[in-house]
Amino acid sequence: MKLACCDKCHDVFKLTFRLKHCKCKNISAKHVDAVKAVVYRKDRDTCRILGVENSIRYGYHERGEVWIQHPGDPNTGANLEEVECF
**pLDDT digits over 19-66, tens only?**
999 999 999 999 888 777 888 888 878 888 887 777 666 677 666 666
Domain boundaries, the chain: 2-84
pLDDT bucket at 78, cuts 50 / 70 / 90: very low
In 1-86, the DSSP E strands lie at 2-6, 12-14, 20-21, 27-31, 37-41, 47-52, 66-69, 83-84
pLDDT band at 77 (very low <50, low <70, confident <90, very high): very low
Contact 3, 13 (CB under 8 A): yes
- CA max distance for the chain: 37
Cβ-based neighbour number of residue 37 at 10 Å: 22
